[in-house]
Amino acid sequence: MTVTLERSVRQDPPADGPDPVDTPRTVGGRTRDDVFSLAGSAAGSLALTWLVFTIILGWTGRLGFVIVWFIVFAALYAAVTSWTNPRIAVVDRLASALVTAGAATVGIALASTVIFTVVNGIDALTHINFYTDDMAGVAPRDPLTQGGILHAIVGSFIMVGIATVVSLPLGVGTAIYITEVGSRGGKWVRTVVEAMIGLPDILAGLFVYVTLILALGTQRSGFAAGMALAIMMTPIIARSAEVQLRVVPGGLREAGLALGATRWRTVKGIVVPTAKAGLATALILGIARAVGETAPVLITSGASTFLNFNPLSEPMNSLPLFILFALRSGQPVYIERGFGAAVVLLGIVLALFVMARMLAKNRMSR
């Protein structure tokens, strides 16, 4: 049975008066004063800076010009604002100009990094053989129609694969130990893991170089490089996996235990599946970090020019190492190859990053 409680609440407007249209007032936004003082100060300061910086003082350098322009702009903007506004508004406007400029500087620097890399590498990227050949028998001065970076791509994948196989169980196991078993030992492990995240990358390589290569007498190889990368990756995965496991609600664990499941079954059947997307994100970000690490690879793998699928013998090249040697070669064509490889590396990192984002987003919406 439904009872209708609806009642006409709304009062009809008087028939004779015009219907008042409610237009909501916009909160915030810019007034005309805001816009004009901003644009005027920008234009005025540009002209003034050009006059003083370039013509009168005769200074050079684009970076310096922009810095001086901003300082002049800030002064002009403050002066213009103070005609019509109290001091508080002047400070507020200056602060927002400064904050926006700071963020823009970082954005421009980031954009210039990406654009500069792509522009320099584009020539190498348009050749098919760049992806299908290695550098065996290719001289540094040879044109871009010869040779490629297949060996470096393959090497990177093999090394990161080895590092993942080693560090995933270690990292996730450590995280499970810290969150699910805990006790005093867990605190110790956690402290060491946190400290090792900040370990300079070169030291991981050095450690593997001295223990694995010098002490055990093995060659520089893809396996050694994979081990060095695993030392970098394990703490990263352990820490982010620990964060993901810790946010699994305690109620879920207790429900599992109350139903009579053992702790192992609770972890396997409830905790890990709940945190699965988060763990995958942690893994992907760890991989993205490892694939770009140069210093450990430089010490442990050795640079080769030929395709090598065997991680246990013969040196194995990788993308970051190829880029390093190409840039230091001093040969324009070789440097171009280096930038091409840098674009490929950037593309891999970006793809991994987007994958991690999508996984995280799915989890949010679930």
Looking at residues 125 to 144 of the shown chain, list those that interact with another protein (rule: CB under 8 A): none
Using alpha carbons, list the distances in angstroms from residue 99 to 82, 93, 162.
19, 10, 44
**Site track 143-172 with another protein (rule: CB under 8 A), x = hit:** --------------------------xx--
Closest separation in Å from C-beta 232 to another protein: 11
Residues 314-353 touching another protein, rule: CB under 8 A, are 320, 323-324, 327-328, 335, 338-339, 342, 345-346, 349-350, 352-353
Task: Find how far residue 41's CA is from the centre of its chain.
Answer: 36
- If binding is defined by CB under 8 A, does position 108 make contact with another protein? no
Residues 10-49 touching another protein, rule: CB under 8 A, are none
Query: What is the rounded CA–CA span in Å between residue 66 and residue 225?
Result: 44
- If binding is defined by CB under 8 A, does position 74 make contact with another protein? no
Question: Count residues contacting another protein (CB under 8 A)?
Answer: 96
- If binding is defined by CB under 8 A, does position 69 make contact with another protein? no
Using alpha carbons, list the distances in angstroms from residue 291 to 130, 199, 284, 363.
19, 17, 11, 25
Collapsing DSSP states into helix, strand and coil, what is residue 314? coil
* Residue 307 near residue 151 (C-beta atoms within 8 A): yes
- For residue 288, which of 310, 320, 322, 241 has the smallest C-alpha distance? 320
* Residue in this structure with the two tokens 């970082």, named with its chain if needed: 106
Closest separation in Å from C-beta 172 to another protein: 9
- If binding is defined by CB under 8 A, does position 173 make contact with another protein? yes
- If binding is defined by CB under 8 A, does position 55 make contact with another protein? no
Residues 199-258 touching another protein, rule: CB under 8 A, are 199-204, 206-207, 209-211, 214, 231, 234-235, 238
Stretch touching another protein by CB under 8 A, among 93-101, 130-138, 139-147, 244-252: 93-101
- If binding is defined by CB under 8 A, does position 265 make contact with another protein? yes
Closest separation in Å from C-beta 357 to another protein: 6
Binder among 138, 177, 243, 306 for another protein (CB under 8 A): 177
* Residue 329 near residue 341 (C-beta atoms within 8 A): no
DSSP type of residue 50:
I
- For residue 284, which of 214, 236, 320, 347 has the smallest C-alpha distance? 236
Closest separation in Å from C-beta 254 to another protein: 15
Identify which of residues 144 and 267 has a Cβ nearer to another protein in the complex: 267
Using alpha carbons, list the distances in angstroms from residue 317 to 119, 150, 225, 271, 308.
24, 10, 10, 39, 8
Binder among 129, 146, 294, 329 for another protein (CB under 8 A): 294
